[in-house]
Structure 1
Amino acid sequence: MNSAVAHPVAGPSCPVRVTSPAPRAVWRQLASVDENTLASQTPTWLDCICATGPFEDASRLYEFEGGRRLVVPLARRRGWPAWLVGEDSWPSDWGIGGPLVSPGTPDETEARVVFDDLARRPALRVGVRFGPGADPVWARAAPQSFGAEEHMTQVLDLDGGFGTVWDRRFHGRVRRAVRRAERSAIKVEVDRTGRLVPAFYHLYEQSMVRWARQQHEPLALARWRQTRSFPRQRLEAVADRFGESCAIYLAWCAGEPAAAIVVLRHGDHAKYWRGAMNRDLAHPVRANFLLHHLAVEDACEAGCRYYHLGDSRPGSSLAHFKDGFGAESRSTPAFLRERLPVSAADRRLRSAVKRLLRFEDA
């Protein structure tokens, strides 16, 4: 791990001390008291990123004169000159990062100091993806040098407990699907030790074939993309480091693994992270509905206030599936500062390749 370096930063009537990488003890303390913290904003998540990819800790701790402390989780590629790499929260495919704050919420001056400090970083790109609980002060404070990218994630409110969620938030079609699954010959296993990682990844590899077919994508390309964005060692690292806070729900049908989901838990939040299935087995018996039903019930019993179902394209079948559980779309914006327009160039290249392949987003 990098040695922490602290230095004062002069803000507009707002002196602040910045330490990078952020001391782990402070980061963990903030993660325990900031009620908006997700599992993907913890130092454990960064450990998984660094253990399974060429990244290192670039997090920053801001200590303001009034006593407020704020950590921005960041990772950067190891071994490259700063001007060639990004500092991101998080790198592609690692999900939502964003600041952790205590006590209270930063005012606009403090938020602007953070953005100004990040804007001065020598990195080619600095990007921060905020969670659904982020205060609007961040959007107001973002300078013009940071472009905004709008993202939406779907979140189920667990207020009132599982009885209320089942009766008032689950749509009738979801309740019917769950009852159908319960009448079927499905056996559900829940693992919090990592023992079911091989079974999950077997289903994930089967899913790659289905996704390739749906998207009109060459199978070899689909396998290369999916294993690169989500290699088995990533799931192994998360299961190992999060321990009981990482649960794999696996539905067996006719002695075969039919569907599985991975759910992470931290504080008030349970987060559906990954899913995979053998559609021929899972769909007729509505296995995925049952798995999420059980995960939501477990989250309620654990005292969680929210169940995060992640991003999905508006109007897609996946968004419709999540809507059925009563999940509401919430803004999770990303703010990006680039010295060169590499993201725009990357999007244009991806779009061109998709047109060439006649790729269709599922």
Structure 2
Amino acid sequence: MNAPAELLVDTPAGLARITTPAPRDVWWELAGKDLDTNPSQTPHWLDCLCATGPYRDASRLYEFERGHRLVLPLAGRTHRPQILGSEESWPAQWGIGGPVCPERVSPAEARVVFADLARLRALRVGVRLRPADQDVWADAAAGFRLEPHMTQKVDLDGGFGTVWERRFGRRVRREIRRAERSDVDVEVDRSGRLVPAFYHLYRKSIVRWAEQQHEPLALARWRRTREFPPRRLEEVASRFGEGCAIWMAWCAGEPAGACVVLRHGGHAKMWRSAMDRELAHPVRAVPLLYRLAIEDACEAACRTFDMGESAPGSSLAEFKASFGAETFSSPRYLRERLPVSAAERRLRTAVKRLIRFEDA
């Protein structure tokens, strides 16, 4: 880990001390007190990112004159000069980041954070906010470009009985009852033992996704494996421990469907899922897994079950909504010295048009 560096800054909110990387004990303390902290805002998440990708800990602790403290999880690129790299919370595909703070941040303090980020020498600086953080932080993001994102979350208030009766749709309840009558066995692993079985299903899913999206299989395998290599789940399972659950459905002794759920405090997060459609679909294995994972989150006294981002209006978004997942805005704010994101977007669009790629 890098040796911490401290900076004392005179700001409109008073003197502010900025320490980077953020001391882990303080980060864990604030994450424990901030009831809105997601699994993806913990030090474990950053450690997994750094252990499985070209990233370093660039997190920042802000201490304000009136006693408020907040940590901004941040990952910087390695093997590049800082002026050609990025510092983001988080990089694409790593979900929601944003400030961890148990106390309400004032508009002046929020502006201090974004002003500090604007001074970084990185080519790109980005922060993706939690839905609960939008108002004060969005108003403070002067000079940062808004990139819309969403997430779908199930409200677990009232316990699983309430969720089942009032939030699950009728059709998904029927499919779950059908699964419960089928020849399907389910187990949950909190030790990482089922990582190989999950990746067996993930490789099968890549083939299915490539067919659905009209993507060359070789390209799909390269892209998906680069995005989610086996060691990434191994690292997450190792660092999160009991907070990482791999739910696996078996049919006739063969893995049929699986999902990975992470947990921190009052929040559960559906991180990854995969299936062998020929085995899983006839017995409705995936709805059963989701039902059991949501019930488990209720029993652990979680307040929300985050099912992640989906393309608005897509079949995946509708599937999540059938479990009672509501859509919340979770915007990302970017500042770039050069229009890197726009160039990347144009390149992706051109490649998709060339291969007739279809977004799921």
TM-score, with length taken from structure 2: 0.99
Q: C-alpha offsets along residues 140-178 of structure 1, whole Å, 9 cap, x if unaligned?
A: 1110x2001111100000000000000000010111011
Q: Distance in 2 between matches of 1:287 and 1:134?
A: 35
1:14·1:109 contact (CA, 8 Å) conserved in 2? no
On the 8 A contact 2:70/2:99 being kept in 1, the answer is yes
Aligned partner of 2:223 among 219, 222, 225: 225
Q: Please tell me whether residue 261 in structure 1 is matched to residue 266 in structure 2.
A: no
Structure 1 consecutive aligned stretches of length 4 or more whose deviation exceeds 2 Å: none
Give the structure 2 partner of residue 141 of structure 1. 140
Query: What is the aligned partner in structure 2 of residue 49 from structure 1?
Result: 49
Q: Could you tell me how far apart the structure 1 residues matched to 2:251 and 2:132 are?
A: 38
What do the CA deviations read for 1:60-109 (whole angstroms, capped 9, x no partner)? 0000011110111111112321100000111222111110013x210111
| 1:122 counterpart = 2:85 | no
Note if 1:62 corresponds to 2:62. Answer: yes
Structure 2 Cα separation of the partners of residues 250 and 14 of structure 1: 52
Letter in 2 for 1:126: V
Q: Distance in 2 between matches of 1:15 and 1:329?
A: 38
Does the 8 Å contact 1:36/1:134 carry over to 2? no
Q: 1:192 — aligned with what?
A: 190
Secondary structure in 1 matching 2:120: coil
The one-letter amino acid paired with 1:134 is: D
Where does 1:200-239 land on structure 2 (aligned, <5 Å)?
Answer: 200-239=198-237
Residue number among 324, 336, 339 corresponding to 2:337 in the alignment = 339
Question: Is the 1:16–1:63 contact (alpha carbons within 8 Å) kept by the matching residues of 2?
Answer: yes
Aligned to 1:20: 20
Give runs of aligned pairs for residues 157-176 of structure 1, distance below 5 A.
157-176=155-174
Q: How far 1:211 moved relative to its partner?
A: 0.3
**Equivalent-residue separation in structure 2 for 1:207 and 1:282 (angstroms):** 12
CA deviations over 1:293-343 (Å, ceiling 9, x no partner):
000100000000000000001111111110000100001100000000000
Corresponding residue for 2:300?
302
Q: TM-score, normalised by structure 1?
A: 0.98
Instruction: Report what 2:112 is aligned to.
Output: 113
CA contact (8 A) 1:98 1:128 kept: yes
Cα distance in 2, alignment partners of residues 8 and 346 from structure 1: 36
How much identity, in percent, do the aligned residues show?
A: 67
Residue in structure 1 matched with residue 282 of structure 2 by the alignment: 284
Give unpaired runs (5+ residues) of structure 1. none
What is the match of residue 353 of structure 1? 351
- Consecutive unaligned residues of structure 2, counting only runs of 5 or more, are none
Conserved 8 A contact 1:14-1:110: no
Shift of the 342–253 alpha-carbon distance from structure 1 to 2, 3 Å rule, reads same
Cα shift readout 1:107-128 (whole Å, capped 9, x = no counterpart): 1110000000000001001001
Return the offset for 1:13: 4.1
Output the CA distance in 1 between the equivalents of 2:67 and 2:267. 26
Provide the rounded CA distance (Å) in 2 between the counterparts of 1:58 and 1:9. Answer: 18
In the alignment, the residues of structure 1 paired with residue 4 and residue 189 of structure 2 have an alpha-carbon distance, to the nearest angstrom, of: 37
Distance apart, 1:9 and its partner CA: 1.4
2: CA distance, partners of 1:22 / 1:155: 29
Q: Return the alpha-carbon distance in structure 1 between the equivalents of residues 157 and 189 of structure 2.
A: 26
Aligned length: 360
Task: Please give the alpha-carbon distance, in whole angstroms, between the structure 2 residues aligned to 1:96 and 1:13.
Answer: 26
**In structure 1, what is the equivalent of residue 11 of structure 2?**
11
For residue 322 of structure 1, what is the aligned residue in structure 2? 320
Change (3 A) 1:167 1:311: same
Contact 2:13/2:109 (<8 A) preserved: no
Contact 1:170–1:325 (CA under 8 A) maintained in structure 2? yes
Asked whether the 8 Å contact 2:13–2:112 carries over to 1, the reply is no
Q: Distance in 2 between matches of 1:14 and 1:266?
A: 33
Secondary structure, counterpart of 2:14 in structure 1? coil
